Structure formats: C-alpha cells, structure tokens
Structure 1
C-alpha cells in the first residue's frame, strides 16, 4: 500500500498525510539502529502499521479527547491516532529507546502527545475516554492494565489475533464487559475488539 492509497481508504487530509509520511520516513531511519517493527513488515508500512492503527478512528467514542495507548512501541496505534486528530494521547512505553523515538516522531510531526517512559503499572491513574493496545498481551492482562484509566464511559479498543475467542472465554471468568467484534481491515485473521462496561467480577 502506498501513501496515496492510504489516503484514498482513510480520507485523511493532505496535511495529515504529509505528517504521517514524515513519521514513516523517521521510522525507516530509526529502524536501522533499533528494532521498532518486524523487518518483514517494512515493505508494507502503510497497510501493516498505519492503516492497521487508523482503522480504530471510527470505532472511538464520539468526542474522544483523552486516550491511553498501552505498550506503544513505535507508536502504533497511539501516535497514529494522535496524528489523525485525537487531542490528548498518552503513550505508555517502558523501553527508553522507543520512547526517544516517540518523542522525536512527535517533534518532527508537530503532534502533541505525552510519553510515559515507565511500565504500565507505574503510571499514575487518571480517567480516559479510550484505552488502546496492539499485539501486547492476552485480554485478561490488558483489562487489568487498563483498569486504572477506566471511567463509566471508557471504551477499550484492542487489535487481536486468531486467539481472541479463547482469550475472551478466559477473561470473562474475572471480568464482566460488553464486547463487540469488528473484522480487521488489514489482517484476515485479525479482529478489532471494542470493550465497554468493564468491571471486575
């Protein structure tokens, strides 16, 4: 997928596309020295990473302002969502080298984000409108990590693979929630899980 093909699918403005392109160029530059994404995915960054992240935008609650991205890594999906207009994005990442990349990407693209260079459990709690995570951990762990950021209206969006149903079965032993599944736009075996009404059993 090319940048222009991404724009056709996502409908982003030329200005947003230019900022995403600057992010993609920086990712390729830094990838040479630190492992930000799987090497095999570099040939298809716009689909495998940027579109994969951007597909969450229409699933966010209307008026989403504060978003917490758990285990941000190279910024997927959190930094992409910030680039696409979510105003108050918090990127949580324990790897200091990846945090350096995130801060530089935010600077280069003039995108205001807050980078938390610490383990998820060490971040002070605050309420968020949305919590996101991509390829990070089983659902039960994700819900436990998301718990300090949950308010009554909070929605969690998790990009999950083919083990989702097993993860849901296990998680519902400890958690009650309303779960909606949406087919991934980029992975035939993937699902975007949208979870609300999250509470411990």
Structure 2
C-alpha cells in the first residue's frame, strides 16, 4: 500500500541531487522487476519502497560519529537487495563491500551497480569466510541476531571503527542477553541507540569505537 512518503520527500530529507535521485529511480524500477522472479523484498513493501527501504537504509547517515571521507571503507553484511549497503553507496563517498551468500541477489546487486554507475565490491560468499580490508563501518539489516552480528563484525573493524545495525523492537532484549552472556565486547567502548526515522518500532544500534 502506497504512503505519502515518496521520492520527492526522500530527496528533500537527504538533500539528494537530481542525478542521484535518477539513480534511485533506476534502482526502484530494477527492484520491482526482479522481485517478480526472486524474493528480494516482501511484495507488501513495494508500494512503500521509498520509506520502507530507501529511507530505512539512508537514515544511517544521520547516525555517523564523523564526516564521511573518500577513503572511508564500509562492509555491509547480508546485503540482500542492497539494504542498507547499496543505498549508502549511492549517497556517500568511500569504498563499499557488499556481502551476500545468495548468488542471485549478488547478480541483482551487480546489475543495479552497473546501471546506476555506482562502484561497489560484491562478495558472493558466507560472512564467516570473509577476508576483507578492515572497515570504518560495518552495517547490517535483518541479517542475524545481535550476538552473532557482533562476532561477525569485530574482525572486520579497523581501530576507531563502528558497527551500525538496523534492528527492531526487541533490541533492548537483545542487548540484555548480550550483556548477560558476557559477550558485550570490551574492545568496543560504547553503545548508542537511535530511534528509526522509517518505523516507529525500529531502532538503530551504533557500537564503537573499536580498539584492537
């Protein structure tokens, strides 16, 4: 079901240029076409694509502790249809690594990257077999429970790096379980929670900075 949040609202919220907005239109059209053949996102969300997926991903830019530089490195775990990693790549500077074990989803990501002129590195492999340069930011949405995400992310972070995880209403419960299990990383000095701009029940967890 469509909502009032649309491409014009998105462009205003993030000060998106006409060129970047056109790339997002291409992305949206590819997503709707490919979703007929493979399960990229729930069909129920396509009518609300600009809020449920593009805004949901782009809002991570409002949670960064510092300005993005051309040499900023990002690793997105379980990228799927490109959320949040490919959305962030369309909007910000840096080197982006998108990771997913599903070959069909990686093929989709490559096509959107090519058609929008957005350079990204796409890794069709399991997260636990990754060998990548360490990153300033590790991101994920709907990828794994928090304890597993933390275990995945820590080897990928460079000193001073951060995790940015899009989570749901059970985040407090996940954080409590993480602490009770003694898995809150001692080499990550802080945890900050931000309200979601796209979902009243959603939360964003920022962990960091990491110290090796």
TM-score range, shorter chain: over 0.9
- For residues 107-135 of structure 1, what are the alpha-carbon distances to aligned partners after superposition, in whole Å with 9 as ceiling and x for unaligned? 00000000000000111042100000001
Q: Decide whether the 8 Å contact of 2:165 with 2:204 is kept in 1.
A: yes
Distance, in Å, in 2 between the alignment partners of 1:55 and 1:37 is 19
- For residues 46-92 of structure 1, what are the alpha-carbon distances to aligned partners after superposition, in whole Å with 9 as ceiling and x for unaligned? 00000000001122332351000000000000000000023201000
Match of 2:207 in 1: 195
1:62 to 64, 67, 70: 67
What SS class does the counterpart of residue 68 from structure 1 fall into?
A: strand
TM-score, normalised to structure 1, is: 0.95
Q: Do residues 100 (structure 1) and 139 (structure 2) align?
A: no
Structure 1 vs Structure 2 CA RMSD: 1.4
Over 3 Å counting, the alpha-carbon distance change for 1:78 and 1:34 in structure 2 is same
2:42 to 38, 45, 58: 38
Over 3 Å counting, the alpha-carbon distance change for 1:117 and 1:152 in structure 2 is same
Match of 1:169 in 2: 176
Moved over 4 A (4+): none
Uncovered stretches (5+) of structure 1, i.e. residues with no partner: none
Match runs of 1:1-201 below 5 Å: 1-60=5-64, 61-64=66-69, 65-172=72-179, 173-176=182-185, 177=188, 178-198=190-210
Q: Which moved more, 1:94-103 or 1:12-21?
A: 12-21
Count of paired positions: 200
TM-score, normalised to structure 2, is: 0.90
Distance, in Å, in 2 between the alignment partners of 1:28 and 1:97 is 15
Q: Decide whether the 8 Å contact of 2:99 with 2:125 is kept in 1.
A: yes
Distance, in Å, in 2 between the alignment partners of 1:102 and 1:73 is 8
- For residues 124-164 of structure 1, what are the alpha-carbon distances to aligned partners after superposition, in whole Å with 9 as ceiling and x for unaligned? 04210000000111111101111221122111100010110
Q: Which moved more, 1:48-57 or 1:168-177?
A: 168-177
Distance, in Å, in 1 between the alignment partners of 2:95 and 2:117 is 13
Distance, in Å, in 2 between the alignment partners of 1:50 and 1:38 is 14
